[in-house]
Structures are given as structure tokens and as C-alpha cells.
Chain A
Amino acid sequence: MRVPFCRKATREEIDRELAFHLDEAARANRQAGMSVAEARRQASIALGGREQTAQQLREVHGSVLWEALSINTGAALRFLRRSPSFSFAIILTLALGIGANTAVFSAIDAVLLRPLAFPQGDRLVALEQHDDGSKDPETKLAPPRLEDWNRLNHTFGAISGYYTQDVSETAGALPERLQQVLVAPRFLEVWGVAPALGRSFTAEEEHFGGPLAVLISDRLWRRRFGAAPDLAGKHLRLGSSSYAVAGVMPASFSTAFPAHEADLWTPQPVDAPYAQSRESTWYTAVGRLKPGVSLEQARADLAIVQAQLGRQYPRTDRTLHAVLVPEKTLVVGEAGSSLWLLYGSVTLLLLIACTNIAALLLARTAEREQEIALRFSLGASRGAVGMQLLSEIGALALLGAALGLLVAAGAIRVLHQLGKALPRTGEITLNLKLLLYTLGCALLATLVCGSLPALRGTRRELAQALARGSRTQVSTRGRLPWVLVTAQVAFAVTLLVGAGLLLRSFDQLRRVRAGFDPAHVLCFQISGSWGETADMGRLTQRVDQTLDALRATPGVRAASTAAALPGTGGAAPTAFHLSEGEQDPDRQVLADSRFISAGYLATMRIPLLRGQGCRAGDPVPAVLVNRSFATAYLMGSDPLGRHLQLAAEPSYATGAAVRGVVADAREQGLNQAPIPTVYWCVEAGTPFPYYLVRTEGDPMAMAATLRAVVHTLEPGRAVYAVSPLADSLSDTELENRLRTTLLTLFAATAIALASLGIYGTLSYLGRLRQREMGLRLAVGATRWEIARRFLRQGLRVAAVGSCVGFALGWLGSHLLAGMLYGVAAADPATYAGTALLVAMLALLASAAPAWRAARINPVEVLREQ
């Protein structure tokens, strides 16, 4: 081992000093009659070897830190060697605790703490338009308004926007569905990203009628063009037009861009004749703040801008105002509360593990009292002995943390698979920050686990403990272990309460009657383009033809389209006008708007209560309403034949006729009670509606057949997003399931650790109090009385721990707000169940020590001591 801190001058001095010693010793040996060679050899042996001694001296001069470290590391390694299974258990516990903690922290860091992965990502702000009258829930911007905001504001470097559509790309062997992003001017400037290869759009390409150009994703470039560095002459065919490939976006851009699946970016010309309406709702707008501008300043600025536009265009802009949200807030969404909940849980778990280890070490230190007392006698300071005890556990914690890093690396791989449940998962990496975090965990664990034993174990009285030679001493200070175990139980109960509440609401959710039947339904989409909405008649005809072909396929029971998947959330409610009768001006008619085709009720098995369902090719606009709508808004009159109008868009003179009333279904999600709903009989609510096909057998088995049917009918279109409806539904509850599973797992681990803690502490105290128990037995206590003492002690810990845990759990249950369904945060069943479980486990954990204590042979014990 080389000592890095040793100066060269010191090395020379050491050599000279040792040379002098050897010469002198050899001279003495020669005088005693040895030969020259033998005299030198003996002198060197007596010194313990010249080189070895020189090395030792160099180590002494290495550094004080080095010295302390090497001594304590030596002690720690001895400790490891002396009790390998004990050490192994501690290392493993810490590895799991620290690993889980690091993994969840990695997610918190990547998802919540780090700015978006764009240059100065914290300056990106999402801009929405909100309608004061809340008639229209749409928050996307019309192209002219986006340009106005960009031109008139003083706080943004630039404001741009984008919207997405699915297109089929037909230059390859088979039509392929790709996600296309249509971007407003200044798009790349706002995100602060340049193409990794090639160029950005030219001015001509951003003008209506200019050459068509596309920027492609890194993955499409690799897949389609084999990562060819030369883009000249490369083209893609989108719909009926050919686009020149202008450049390739960096791979990191696709990871960070909100539309993860996007492969194509094309300019949406500002001067296109169809892009001039102030009423269209196209763009998801994003702006980049100027340096040093706060969000508040930008809000005030945009408020002035929109007020000015309101005066200029009163018809369209008067009731609108701009809403600014940090882009990150939008991207992260509601993942924050789940992540903090998990982080709190794993931290509690680590705390329990540390407390458990502290109790173990405390018992251990008590057993080492003699060794410690001896060190005191030798003049070691309290600090030195404490340091040694701390460095023992520190070495264990470091090993645990190193293993924990492996655990975390594994967990991060799992996190990457959770893209559906968690945003920004692609950005989670094992980096230097996490390494430091893990080290911090190890240090903290050392202090939490080690400081109590170090402080307790090194009290000066211990030096005298030895002198008194009394072993029963230790049993008098039995309060601390109980505090530790009670703390463990309390933390575990906190987690149990949380897990119990989540499990209960998960169970409630499963019992819910959806009102529709998702089994045996296959859903998929067929690529289309927003451009098709210019001719709604043709679009509707196309969708109807496809539906007819699907229905004619053997094995298909029913088929229909819907603009949104049933049971997977929807837009905010829309305001309606009732054409006939009086309408209370203070009471808005709000309902969920859904667009469906004929056959929807049959496909989803939603019962028709009155009237008729939708019909294909109906010349008059028609709607169905659900029972909630009828009861809420149409009471006292026959709903059939009445007319509804969209309050925001009174385009139909008479409104749409109510053709039927259907039963309530949980269209907005299984965890949402049905709300008043209006079903529009519009088969093409979007150019790429969901096709829902009820099959006789396994829906996925029909997938290939149905693909072929669509391909024969329309070879230029791609079929995509094929999956059983049941799977899509369970995807929406993926985050919920994940959260519940993890918390349950943590809680189970926690209560297992706490039970072990009760068992360990009772066993240890049982050993210490053997003499007392022997005495009690000798003076006439029954064995049952002895056992009962132990059982009672275990139960008392469980009771006190549960009470504290309930209080903590109740305080923590606000973290669960919004995650519970059909269960109150103070659910009595959950609390009672937890209490019962903890009591039973505590009894189980104290049974063995109680039995051992009751079996003591008083004569033997008393004679022994």
C-alpha cells in the first residue's frame, strides 16, 4: 500500500533514522561476537524488517485522517469478521432500505425536481385561453390569437404552439401510422433545440403553398433511413403529399417533448386561408420567458394583451383570458402526490430499519461492555471509543449503500417500464447526484443506527460497571429499547393505515358497476388527418363504410365508433341550451359531450331506456341523453323530441333532437360517478375516432382479420393502437394499482421488521432478566404469570405504537386525498383491522420469548449468577 500523503523529505529522514539504528544494533551484535553478515541480519530481524518498518512510519506520517481511518476501518472489519451473520443481516436490511429510498428519490429528482430537459427549461411556460363564461372548456389557441399574443407581449422571448395528428406514411413497404406534430412559427426557438442533423425550416417552408418539409425523430431516422448522414433527396409521403426531410431532431428532444410518440414535425403556415378564424381551437401554446422575467410579470403582461384584444375583437375575445402555467407543472401533472407518498413511505421504512438495527446494536453494545470498559481503562477517550462504535456501523452502512445502489439500479430499470403511469420516466438515470444521495443515506443511517449505541455504550459509568462486576446492572436501563420498538411499531402502523385505505378503495373500485361491458371489445384507430374535417360528409361516409365492412366480418357481433374511449376519462363538461321551455338563467345545463356512431349501445351493452339509438346517415342532428341528464334537466316533460344546443356554438338553428334516453354508464372513468351525458350521433367526432368492435371470442384473436378488412377497403391508411378495451381500462388505473401495490409491500415489510423488533428486544431482555425471573419463580410465581408479563409487554408496545401510528397515519392521510374512492380517510374498518393485525403480530412475536422465560429453571439460573 502506498501512502499518498507522505512527503519525500520525510521518506529520506525515515531511511536515515533506521539506517542509524541498524548500524548501531549491528555494531553491538558484532561486539557480542557475531559475524558481520549475521550481525546485520539479526539487527534487521529485531527491527521487524527494515522495509516494513519504514512503510509503517510512512503510514504514520500519511495523515491524521488516514491514521484514524485505517485504525477504525481495521476495527470495523474485525467486527464484520467476528459476527458475519449479524453483519450480513444489517447490510442486507440497509441495502434494501437505502436502495428503495434511492430509487424513489431518483424518480422524484427526475420527474419533480429537475427542470425540463430543455436549455433553461424552467423558462418554458404553457399558455392557455380560458373562457370567463366557462361555456367552452377548450383551452387551445386559435392561430391568429397565438400570433397576436406573440406580437403584443413584452415578457416572452417567443411564443409558439403545436398540435398533433396521426397520419399514415406511405413511402415505405406498408402504410405506417406516425404521429405528426404541426408547429406554429418559432417552435424550435421556444424549446431552444436545433436539429441534430440537417437544418430547421426555411421561411418559404413556413408559408402557405411553399415547399413541404418535415423534421423527423432520431428513431424514425434510424428505422427508416438507417441513420444515413446524408439527408439530400430523402422524402416521406404523408397522406397524399410528399415531404422533403429537412433534418433530424436529437433523440433527447423526443424523450423530453410532451408528445413522446411524435416522429414528424411539419410547419403549419400562419397565412393559410383556413387558419384565420379566431374561433378555432388548435394550438397547445408554449412560450419562452425572457431572462429575469417572473411568471407573475408574464401573467400581468398577457392580461393586458388579452384585454386589448378583447376591445379589438369583442365578439370572439371579450370573455377570454390567458392562463399561464409552468410547462413542467403541466408535464408532471398529478404524479407529484403519488411520488411524495411513496417517498414518505420508503423513508419511514428506512427509519424503521435503522431503529431496528439501533436496537440490535444497543443489545450488542451492552454485551461488549467489558471490552469497552477495558478500552477506557487504557486511557481511550470517550470520543475515540464512540468513533470506533460508529465506524463499525459506518462500514456496514457503506457496504449496505453500495448494495443498495445495485438495488436502485434494478428498480430504475423497472421505473423505465412505467411510462404509462408516470411522466418523464425516460429521464430517470443513475447519476452522480444519486451516488451522493446514497452516500448521504449511508451517513444518516450510520448516525441514526449508531449514535444511540455509541452514546449509551460509552458512558463513563461503564468503566466502573466492570469494577462492580454486576451483570444485572444492564436490566435497569431497559426503557430505551422499548422506545425504539414502539417507534418502529408506530411507523409501521402509519404505513399500514395508508396501505389499508388504498386497498379498501381499490376493492371498492372493483365492485363498481361500470354500466357498460368492456369484455370482448377490441378497439383501434385508423389514421386520418384534420384536413379531412373540411368535408364532413365525405369523412362520415368513409367511417360508415369502414363500420359496415367490420360488421360484415364473421365473428363480429357489433361495431361502432366513439371519439373517446368509454371509461377512460373525458373533457370537462360542456354547457348546453335547451331550445324549448323555460331555462333558469342561473342554473347552467352542463353535460359530458360524447360523439358516437350507430351501434354504440349494442357494442357497449348500454341499455336503451326510451326512444331509439343513433342511425347512420341521419340527415337531422340527433342526440341521446343518459338518465342523469333527463332527471337533472328534463324533469316534468317528455325528453324525447326536445332539442339541445351547444351554448358555445349555436350553429344549428333548431338544435339537435333528443332521440333516446339511455342508462347511466361510468364513461368518464370507473372511479367517477356517472354525470349528465349527451351522446351526439356523430360517427366522426375526430378524423381518427376509436373503432369499438364486439367480438364473439377473444378480441385480440380478431385483430389480424380486422386489420386485413381495413387494408382491403383503404390500403393507404394505417390501423394502430389496437388493444382490448379491458386493457385500456386497466392502463388508466395503472398508477393507482402501482401505488397500492408498492405501499402495501412497504407496509408489509415495515410490520415484519417491527415484529422482529418486538421479538428481538423481548428475547434480549429475557436473557438479561433470567435471574429476576428465576427469583420470582423461586418465591412462588407461576410460570403462566411469568409468560403473561412478557405477553403483556409485547401487547403494550403494540397498543402504544398503534395509537401513535394512528395519529401519524391520520395526519398523513391528507397525502392520500384524491387517491381514495368510496372510503373516508378516517375509515373505521381500516383502523380496526390494522389494530387487530398489529395486536396479533405482537402476541405472536412475544410468544417465543414468553415461553422461554416461563421455562427457566430457577435453581440453575440462581446458581449460575
Chain B
Amino acid sequence: MPEKKADLLQGTLDMLILKTVALGPVHGYGISLRIREVSKEILQVQQGSLYPALHRLEKRGWLLAEWGESDNGREAKFYRLSARGRRQLAEEEQSWYRLAEAVSLVLQTS
């Protein structure tokens, strides 16, 4: 079922966003570009799920947002990491390793 897949990816996407934003303030479009660059185009982030994730993270207080000027002088919404977001990122990284371990186990046993 497609929903199930989205559920599965959600945690992963959140982590990737946090990781990206941790490098410095950036707008949504910039994040989509950076994730694609950093993951060497292997991970195709659905842009449709990027913005809901950004807003959710902002709502949870992990990201802070403010309006600023982009490189080409246009008004854009910039995101940066809050202190809580930084802690969350650390946790997410940990659980990512747990997941990776679990998934490999699933693959071995079933």
C-alpha cells in the first residue's frame, strides 16, 4: 500500500532535511537541490513530500523559519536548525542505524 511506504520514508526524510539544514540557513528549493546533490542523485526526494515535512518540523520546533532574500534577490523562506532540532537530529541518526540493522536482519531471516 502506498501509504505504508510514505510512513516508512517519513522518518528518513525528516532526518535528511535536518541534516541538510544543519549546514546553514537554506530555503525549501535549496534543500531539495542539496539533498539531491549530497545523495549523488540516488535518492529522488519527492518534492511533494518535502514541504509538508518542512512545515511539520517547523511546527514541532525543530526548524526555525524566517523570510529573507535569496541569491537572486527574491523573497524566500529560509529554514535553520533550532537547539531542539539539533538534539533530534542526533537521535534520528542513531535510530537510523538501528533501522538499518533491523532491516538487514529482516532480510536475513525472512
Contacts and interface: CB of A to CB of B under 8 A. Distances in A.
Interface stretch (A44-52, A330-338, A399-407, A678-686): A44-52
Chain A CB within 10 Å, residue with most, of B8, B46, B95, B102: B102
A467 B102 contact: yes
Given A20-B70, A23-B74, A48 B3 contact: no
Contact of B95 (A23, A59, A377, A466): A377
Given A20-B76, A25-B29, A57 B52 contact: yes
Contacts of B105: 466-467, 469
Interface string B8-22: 100100000000000
A61 B59 contact: yes
B75 A46 contact: no
Given A13-B77, A56-B51, A377 B29 contact: no
A472 B91 CA distance: 32
Interface in B74-110: 74-77, 91-92, 95, 98-99, 102-103, 105-106, 109
A16 B46 contact: no
A17 interface: yes
B99 A20 contact: no
Given A48-B46, A78-B1, A16 B55 contact: no
Interface string B38-76: 000000001111011001100100000000001000111
B3 to A, nearest CB: 7
A24 B75 CA distance: 12
A61 B48 contact: no
Nearest to B59: A60
A619 interface: no
A451 interface: no
A173 interface: no
Given A24-B29, A466-B106, A16 B77 contact: yes
A796 to B, nearest CB: 36
Interface in A377-400: 377-380
Q: Chain A interface residue count: which class?
A: 20 to 34
Given A25-B29, A48-B47, A57-B51, A16 B75 contact: yes
Interface string A38-74: 0000000011110011001101110010010000001
B25 interface: no
Chain A CB within 10 Å, residue with most, of B32, B49, B55, B70: B55
B70 A52 contact: no
A466 B102 contact: yes
Given A78-B3, A377-B95, A17 B102 contact: no
A370 B48 CA distance: 29
A378 B106 contact: no
A467 B75 CA distance: 50
Given A13-B77, A49-B48, A467-B105, A20 B55 contact: no
B92 A20 contact: no
Nearest to A64: B59
A48 B48 contact: yes
Contact of A378 (B11, B29, B51, B52): B11
A374 interface: yes
A49 B47 CA distance: 10
A48 B102 CA distance: 31
A52 B48 contact: yes
B60 to A, nearest CB: 9
Interface string A465-486: 0110100000000000000000
A750 B92 CA distance: 49
Chain B CB within 10 Å, residue with most, of A24, A78, A466: A24
B48 A47 contact: yes
Nearest to B44: A46
A373 B27 CA distance: 35
A709 interface: no
Given A17-B51, A60-B52, A378 B3 contact: no
Chain B CB within 10 Å, residue with most, of A49, A60, A61, A74: A60
Q: Chain B interface residue count: which class?
A: 20 to 34
Contact of A57 (B55, B98, B109): B55
A541 to B, nearest CB: 91
A469 B75 contact: no
A856 interface: no
Nearest to A43: B47
A706 to B, nearest CB: 76
B102 A374 contact: yes
A20 B51 CA distance: 12
Nearest to A25: B29
Contacts of A420: none
B26 to A, nearest CB: 12
A21 interface: yes
A21 B29 contact: yes
A469 B77 CA distance: 47
Contacts of B59: 60-61, 64
A60 B56 contact: yes
A362 B3 CA distance: 25
Nearest to B49: A48
A18 interface: yes
A61 B51 contact: no
B76 A378 contact: no
Contacts of B28: 17, 20-21
B84 to A, nearest CB: 15
A21 B79 CA distance: 14
Contact of A379 (B11, B56, B75): B11
B11 A53 contact: no
Contacts of A17: 27-28, 51, 76-77
Contacts of A20: 27-29, 70, 74-77
B95 A18 contact: no
Contacts of B46: 48
A581 B47 CA distance: 112
B95 A378 contact: yes
Given A373-B102, A469-B105, A379 B91 contact: yes
Interface string A5-28: 000000001001110110111000
A31 to B, nearest CB: 12
A458 to B, nearest CB: 16
Interface in A755-779: none
A13 B75 CA distance: 11
Contacts of A64: 59
A483 B70 CA distance: 65
Contacts of A16: 75, 77
Contacts of A61: 55, 59
Interface string A439-468: 000000000000000000000000000110
A47 B28 CA distance: 11
Contacts of B109: 469
B51 A53 contact: yes
Contacts of B103: 377
Nearest to B56: A60
Contacts of B91: 379
Nearest to B28: A21
Contact of A53 (B48, B92, B98): B48
B72 to A, nearest CB: 8
Interface of A: 13, 16-18, 20-21, 23-25, 46-49, 52-53, 56-57, 59-61, 64, 67, 74, 78, 370, 373-374, 377-380, 466-467, 469
15 contacts: A13-B77, A20-B27, A20-B28, A20-B74, A20-B75, A53-B51, A56-B48, A56-B51, A59-B52, A78-B3, A373-B102, A374-B102, A378-B8, A379-B11, A379-B91
Interface of B: 1, 3, 8, 11, 27-29, 32, 46-49, 51-52, 55-56, 59, 70, 74-77, 91-92, 95, 98-99, 102-103, 105-106, 109
Complex A-B, nearest 8 residue pairs according to Cβ-Cβ distance, in ascending order: A48-B48, A379-B95, A377-B102, A60-B55, A24-B29, A56-B52, A378-B11, A469-B109
Given A17-B28, A20-B70, 17 more contacts: A17-B27, A17-B51, A18-B51, A20-B75, A24-B29, A24-B70, A48-B48, A56-B48, A60-B52, A60-B59, A64-B59, A377-B98, A378-B8, A379-B11, A380-B11, A467-B102, A469-B109
